Amino acid sequence: MKPLFKNLFYILVTFIALTAIFSLFNSGKSPEVVSLSKLALEINEGKVKQITVTENELGLKLVDNTEQTAKKETDAPLTETLKNYGVSAEKLAGVNLEVKEVSGWRFWFATLLPFVFPLLIIGFFFWFMMRQAQRGSNQAFGFTKSLVRMIMPDDKNKPKATFKDVAGLIEAKEELEQVVEFLKEPKKFLALGAKIPKGILLVGPPGTGKTMLARSVAGEANVPFFHISGSEFVELFVGVGASRVRDTFALAKKSAPAILFIDELDAIGRHRGAGLGGGHDEREQTLNQILVEMDGFDPNTQVIVLAATNRPDILDPALLRPGRFDRRVILDLPDIKDREAILNIHAKGKPLTKDVKLRQIAERTPGFSGADLANLMNEAAILTAQKDKTEIGMEELIASIEKVMLGPERRSFVLTPKEKEIAAYHEAGHALVAASLPHMDPIRKISIISRGRAAGYTLKLPTEDKHFHSKTEFLEELSVLLGGYAAEKTVFNEITTGASNDLEKTTELARSLVTRWGMSENLGPVVFGDRDELVFLGKEISEQKNYSEEMASKIDKEIYVFIDNAYKKALDILKEKRALLNQIAKTLIEKEILEKEEFEALVAAG
Ligand code: ADP
Ligand code: MG
Ligand code: ZN
């Protein structure tokens, strides 16, 4: 609970308790209070049946059973008082008079409460404030305590992850199997004098299951799992990062055998001295402390440090030296078989219709990470629920692929008729160029309903997972990327801002062709630029130029040639097939979405 809510909560409880106490003593609806003279009158009229005297309180019961109360003077006896008020003796004799002793606790309560109650309240507030103050000071001392999260092996609330929950990643799992064995039976290894790795680096793109795999190692070995993220170390408390490291390692050592997992190691492990803020910054001290701690492990320490990063290239070399993170486990994006397996894992507990073929979904999702696929299954479930269906079907799964890939559809983003026409020609241009080139994947879908940031989109269907790409493919890809631009130019003799994203991609691709893959005939197999990227500086600025100005202008010329040739090719195709382009665009304006079959029918007819 947040402190504010906690306070409110206490006040509320106190209030309720007080109300309860008071209502205990005043239960029922309170009877009418009458004066003594009225009472005297009532007795004389013969209305009163009974009087109960408790101290100075008179409880009256009338003949018609209504109840009243009155107060008598403190010292004078009641009969005396009533006589003074003119009550005749025989009338009084007709009234049933009863004197009650004040019960002990009630008496004490009544006399003490007025004194004790304020004291209680004051005491409560003092206690309350002391507690607050104490907590404050605890926080002041405790904020260097590590923010480490811990999962104990016998924790029932957190389901234990095992290798079974991780699909694919065969090599990574094999590698980590050793760690599991060591944690289970360290003696076996130590008896042989084997050195067990202290630090293992999990390397892979985001969403490939690094965090998950680390957890599952702990789950398999049945040991405590300490989890802290690199960015949390550096939460800008100067001087605290290092002591957090110390605390975290101390904690892990105390519960050895254990796994200590540092997520996003690159947040602290960047090359020292690479920061904008100069050398001795917070990050550097934190990093040093990690190195110190890891070196301080004696060989028998049964704590294994796992760390995850998607940027091994920027890690400080000191982290990677023997005795530190000297082992790497690579996690790749899943291939088609693994994608199917991941989909299967995340389909558990989700009812699917009989015709669902997860294999087909896997075929359509090259480049998806495990996290993307998990997300896809979830989106499909949400979509199905929205449609009030009870089983997830192929239709929902396919719709979710696009949602995960491109963001949600924005049907409310309305294009004017002119914009719609431009968008239709633009997408038709991409699609037609792609369909006319031999190495391009078939078109799966064309749409001019905007999605995420794109006004329209053309999806190609990769027929296989490719690990290598040829120059020919890249050149054709450049033409396809420029197909939208070329169509706008051909049809309207005008260019809109809609093509800007395509142009960025085109330039990026052409630059890579020349500077990274050695695909330029004139410049040959040379890699230009030292891609020693600094995250926060952005790629462009930090790319070290390790070539001359002269070379730079040659590179630019080569890039230009690639792009210009690709553009000409796209233009040629579109000019030659202008009638077909018109036909596709017209159909698109009408239907807004063209599926693979419809598009292919148009192309075949045209
Ligand atoms: P990373 O740490 O590499 O960014 P995570 O471990 O956080 O990725 O993965 C995010 C989610 O993606 C996981 O919770 C899991 O649901 C899913 N996921 C990723 N890879 C796999 C896999 N190989 N098998 C099953 N689920 C996976
Ligand atoms: Mg992660
Ligand atoms: Zn485009």
Please report which ligand is nearest the Cα atom of 202. Answer: 1
Tens of pLDDT along 13-34? 777 777 667 666 655 556 788 8
What would the CATH number be for the domain defined by 336-405?
1.10.8.60
Mean pLDDT across 262-266: 86
Q: Is 161 touching ligand 1 by the criterion CB < 6 Å?
A: no
pLDDT tops 50 at residue 140 = no
Residues belonging to the active site: 427
Q: Is any ligand 1 atom within 6 A of the Cβ of residue 209?
A: yes
480 or 44: which leads in pLDDT: 480
List % helix, strand, coil for the chain (3-state, nearest 5): 55, 15, 35
CATH 2.60.120.10 fits 31-101, yes or no: no
**pLDDT at position 128 over 80:** yes
How buried is 54 (Cβ within 10 angstroms: 0-12 exposed, 13-18 middle, 19+ buried)? middle
Q: Which is higher by pLDDT, 532 or 56? A: 56
Given this model, what pLDDT does residue 411 score?
66
The domains of the chain are located at: 1-30+121-142, 31-101, 149-330, 336-405, 417-605
Class of 417-605 in CATH = mainly alpha
214 Cα–ligand 2 center, Å = 9
CATH fold, domain 149-330, is: Rossmann fold (3.40.50)
CB 56 within 8 A of CB 72: yes
Query: 317 is written with which tokens?
Result: 């070399």
Ligand index nearest the alpha carbon of residue 310: 1
Q: Is the CB of 169 under 6 A from ligand 1?
A: yes
Angle at which helix 549-576 crosses helix 500-515, to 10 degrees, equals 130
Comparing 3 with 560, which gets the higher pLDDT? 560
DSSP 442: P
* pLDDT at 11 > cutoff 80: no
**Token pair of 210 as six digits:** 């690094």
Structure token digits, residue 329: 């486990």
Q: What is the pLDDT of residue 142?
A: 46
- Give pLDDT tens digits for 89-115: 777 777 887 777 766 677 777 777 788
167 CA → ligand 1 middle, Å:
9
- The reply to whether ligand 1 has any atom less than 6 angstroms from the CB of 152 is no
pLDDT at residue number 465: 61
State the burial class of residue 520 (Cβ atoms within 10 Å of its Cβ: 0-12, 13-18, 19+). buried
pLDDT in tens, 480-530: 999 999 999 999 998 888 788 889 989 989 998 898 888 888 888 888 876
Question: Is the pLDDT at 139 greater than 50, yes or no?
Answer: no
Residue of 212, 217, 263 best suited for mutating to test ligand 1, as the one with most atoms within 8 Å of CB: 212
| CA 438–ligand 3 middle distance (angstroms) | 20
- pLDDT, tens digit, 9 for 90 and up, residues 373-424: 999 999 999 999 999 999 999 999 988 988 888 777 666 666 788 888 999 9
- Per-residue pLDDT, 586: 94
- Model pLDDT, residue 402: 83
What's the mean pLDDT when you consider all of the chain? 81
Measured from the CB, is residue 227 less than 6 Å from ligand 1? Answer: no
Q: Output the DSSP codes for 41-106.
A: HHHHTT-EEEEEEETTEEEEEETTS-EEEEE--SSS-HHHHHHHTT--HHHHHTSEEEEEPPPHHH
**What's the rounded Cα separation, in Å, for the pair 251 and 262?**
14
* 574 and 432 Cβ atoms separated by less than 8 Å: yes
Least distant ligand from the CA of 457: 3
CA of 541 to the centre of ligand 3 (A): 27
pLDDT for 453 equals 63
Q: Is 374 in the pocket of ligand 1 (CB under 6 A)?
A: yes
- Measure 213 CA to ligand 1 centroid, in angstroms: 8
pLDDT bin (cut points 50, 70, 90) of residue 237 is low
Q: pTM for the full model?
A: 0.62
Q: Which of 208, 310, 333, 379 to mutate to test the pocket of ligand 1 (most atoms within 8 A of CB)?
A: 208
Q: Centre a 10 Å sphere on the Cβ of residue 178 and count the other Cβ atoms it contains.
A: 14
CA-to-CA separations, 574 to 192, 588, 606, in angstroms, rounded: 71, 17, 13
pLDDT of res. 536: 40
State the distance between the two ends of the chain, measured CA to CA, in whole angstroms.
Answer: 68
In angstroms, how far is CA 306 from the centroid of its own chain? 22
